[in-house]
Structure 1
Amino acid sequence: MSDRAKTLLLHGGVLVLLFALQFVLPAYHHGNLARIMVLASFAIGYNVMFGYAGLLSLGHALFFAAGMYGLGLAVAHGGADPVSGLLAGIAAALAVSVAVGLLALRTSGVAFMIVTLMFAQVGYLAVLYFGTYTRGDEGIVLQQAQRVLWGIDLTQPGARYFAALLLFAVCLLATLGLVRAPFGKVLIAIRENEERARMLGYDVFRYKLAAVVISGVLSGLAGAVYGLLFGFVGATFASVQYSIFPLLWVLLGGAGTVLGPFVGTLFMFYLIDLSSAVTSAYMLVAGVALVLLTLFAPQGLVGEIRNRIWRWLP
């Protein structure tokens, strides 16, 4: 069997498994997995920028929140339907990612990290400052009637799960196609040796900007869908922790791997969930696990599987 066939079989099998789990999971884990798939889509967006283009951002909460508030404000204050709200969220994430990319890519390395963090903080403070519209920390609660898409009530567990699965499938397959295309190969070349890629004639800035925009739009789409499916749009999602979370998920699962963001999100979500039932120091447990994985699986869980067993993994 060719590597291409193995890749399609593996990723298709994961989607089929997630589809089947809808019918057998208990209610608690059913809801958890829907949330994990949306957050994993956010991590997939981050992975495009960090894992494949080599751009370490500390401000990805800005894109997630842009999509979320684009939808939330359009639906709550503009009376938009869910489809128009999703389009508004995508448009907001697109505009923000283009602006951030054009400005932040004038820097590199540590300076790029700091600039992206500063932009994210500006976004967070803007959410608080315009609390009349955003309702600040209290957030915007979307009513059940505002979450009906094409006659489908997304407040129902089954509909919410399938919507989350659809989002995850789109993000996963889009990333798989991207990394196998010439564009993705160029991003990897830039990540490995930017100067050599420039010497070969590639417009490095243009490719980096495209990576930032694609990453921002996928993350914004995840934010918009999260707000629609779970009915809440709040300032917490624009805070620093939601810039750190996707970095941790990608590092745990394996940066530069297609399935890594999902595995990392699933692992961290349930590690915190299970440890919090045992001790109030659950973040200490998560920290110890992160240190151990960094020491013994520096490429992440999927990355180590690729290095040691399945070298054909994208």
Structure 2
Amino acid sequence: MSRVLALHLGLVALLLAMHFVLPAYHHGNLARVMVLACYAIGFNILFGYTGLLSLGHALFFAAGMYGMGLAITQLGAAPAPALLAGLIAGLVVAGITGALALRTVGVAFMIVTLMFAQAGYLTILYFGDITHGDEGFVIQPAQRVLWGLDLSDPSWRYLAAWALFSACLIASLALVRHPFGRTLTAIRENEERARLLGYDVALRKWVAVVISGGISALSGAAYGLLFGYAGASFASVQYSIFPLLWVLLGGAGTVLGPFIGTLFMFYLIDLTSGITTAYMLLAGVVLVLLTLFAPQGLVGEVRRRGWGWLP
């Protein structure tokens, strides 16, 4: 346990140290990656540890983003209550959609979550007078001052992203090492056996959806606040597919996988887009090769090839 904790705290310390040495471009990129990695962490709890593949997680991400953004722009809320509003919005949406979607299993669950997300996306477009539809809306720098800290400033924005990521990473580690997290893994491996052992599988799966949706919503709220924008594109199918790719690349069912996968894919697209306009083709080739030669993801392969103690 000590080396597991040391590894994760070491990553947290390294990311803090990077704040002082990175050039401006990569400094901003890493702040964005850390916030999006929190979204991937939320997705990983449901997919990687519970074994439920959701294709509608953009609904939770957008619920947090719009819950926060509308609280600021429409109600004049301060950033802290606005972040709380985004988190509550995500938890409520996750609780309701989870209760309905979990009435299905397998492919049906995937389709139902996808349809819920599409309904959320269309709702944002329908109420365009408030949400500004595809155009979205900007959250002004003056509205992004949290406890006296100007989050539009790159330095404070990075530190806020680091604090959020650190909290999500350590919370994720604590969850998967907790008996509840081990129960989720048991459900993933053999749901029927977990039920025969006396566990309330339905309740635990619903709680997993709520936790996953809450973390995803908090990530969406933080993304909107730190980068000053909320738009309907964040509720689209693309943003439901992204966390799946990040988790698969990094390693589903690993604590560090979501961050490694998000970082890898972010810079893969960034680098290939500087080479050609057909950058998605190059990125696709790399992703296919990784899928073929590292089917368990980057961290998953490291765990399989020698570091079996990685959670």
Determine which of 40, 46, 49 is the counterpart of 1:49: 46
Work out the CA distance in 2 between the residues paired with 1:283 and 1:187. 35
2:142 is equivalent to residue 175 of structure 1? no
Q: How does 1:264-283 map to 2 (within 5 A)?
A: 264-283=261-280
Q: Equivalent residue for 2:55? A: 58
Shift of 1:265: 0.2
Q: Equivalent residue for 2:75? A: 78
Q: Equivalent residue for 2:31? A: 34
Work out the CA distance in 2 between the residues paired with 1:14 and 1:309. 20
Q: Equivalent residue for 1:205? A: 202
Work out the CA distance in 2 between the residues paired with 1:286 and 1:74. 37
SS state at 1:133 partner: helix
Q: How does 1:261-300 map to 2 (within 5 A)?
A: 261-300=258-297
2:154 is equivalent to residue 157 of structure 1? yes
Q: How does 1:303-314 map to 2 (within 5 A)?
A: 303-314=300-311
Runs of 4+ in 1 over 6 A off after TM superposition: none
Q: How does 1:122-141 map to 2 (within 5 A)?
A: 122-141=119-138
What's the CA shift string for 1:102-146, capped at 9, x where partnerless? Answer: 000000000000000000000000000000000001111001110
Determine which of 204, 228, 233 is the counterpart of 1:231: 228
Shift of 1:287: 1.1
Q: Equivalent residue for 1:184? A: 181
Work out the CA distance in 1 between the residues paired with 2:120 and 2:89. 12
- Which amino acid is the alignment partner of residue 57 of structure 1? S
Q: Equivalent residue for 2:10? A: 13
- Which amino acid is the alignment partner of residue 249 of structure 1? W
Shift of 1:285: 1.3
Gaps of 5+ in 2: none
What's the CA shift string for 1:17-50, capped at 9, x where partnerless? Answer: 0000000000000000000000000000000000
Shift of 1:14: 0.3
- Which amino acid is the alignment partner of residue 84 of structure 1? P
Shift of 1:311: 0.5
SS state at 2:112 partner: helix
What's the CA shift string for 1:249-275, capped at 9, x where partnerless? Answer: 000000000000000000000000000
Gaps of 5+ in 1: none
- Which amino acid is the alignment partner of residue 139 of structure 2? L
Work out the CA distance in 2 between the residues paired with 1:286 and 1:222. 25
SS state at 1:137 partner: helix
Q: TM-score, normalised by structure 2?
A: 1.00
Q: Equivalent residue for 1:166? A: 163
What's the CA shift string for 1:134-180, capped at 9, x where partnerless? Answer: 00011110011100001100000110000000110011000000000
Work out the CA distance in 1 between the residues paired with 2:282 and 2:6. 35
Percent sequence identity over aligned pairs: 71
SS state at 1:38 partner: helix
Work out the CA distance in 1 between the residues paired with 2:280 and 2:245. 13
- Which amino acid is the alignment partner of residue 15 of structure 2? L
Q: TM-score, normalised by structure 1?
A: 0.99
Work out the CA distance in 1 between the residues paired with 2:256 and 2:164. 15
